[in-house]
Copies of this chain bind each other. A is one copy, B any other.
Amino acid sequence: MDEKDAQLREAAEKLALTLSESGMQKTTARVMTALLFSRQEAMTAADLCEELRISSGAVSGAVKQLIPTGIIERVPAPGSRRDHYRFREHAWATLMGNQNALLSSMWDAASEGIKVAGKDSTPGRRLDEMQHFYGFMQREMAALIDKWLEQYDTDKG
């Protein structure tokens, strides 16, 4: 049984590494994947310190990033004064939804450039394609996430 724990921890660390390569802070990613792969329903900050061998300050910082994005949540822990943290349901859909903010700022950047240079300029033509692309993606991505949520809840529901 300890074998499994080791394998799960390894898989968690591997994913954390991938996520950190895509821009997420390393410790934040490690906290996230620790909660995702944990055999426990929820973990305390102390659990995370021990599991990941990091300080309580580091856990606090990671949690502070993860909660507002909707990836994890604090969960009431009857009979304990320690905060418990748990991976949120539909966290992935939330995470992808947050990406929409990025798509939106890409659209904005293109729009800004077009305003200055005009559509019929060298940069204008490039920016026009960019704006078209991100406008499209923003609309479609939102629809896609809704579609998944609906579909998944129906399957499980």
Chain A residues engaging chain B, CB cutoff 8 angstroms: 4, 7-8, 11-12, 14-15, 18, 21-24, 36-41, 87, 89-90, 92-93, 96, 102, 105-106, 109, 112-113, 116-117, 121-123, 126-127, 129-130, 132-134, 136-137, 140-141, 144, 147-148, 151-152
Contacts and interface: CB of A to CB of B under 8 A. Distances in A.
Question: Taking the full assembly, how many copies of this chain does it contain?
Answer: 2
A105 B12 CA distance: 13
A90 B125 CA distance: 12
Contact of A37 (B4, B8, B15, B123): B123
A129 B152 contact: yes
A122 B40 contact: yes
Given A11-B116, A18-B102, A144-B144, A134 B92 contact: yes
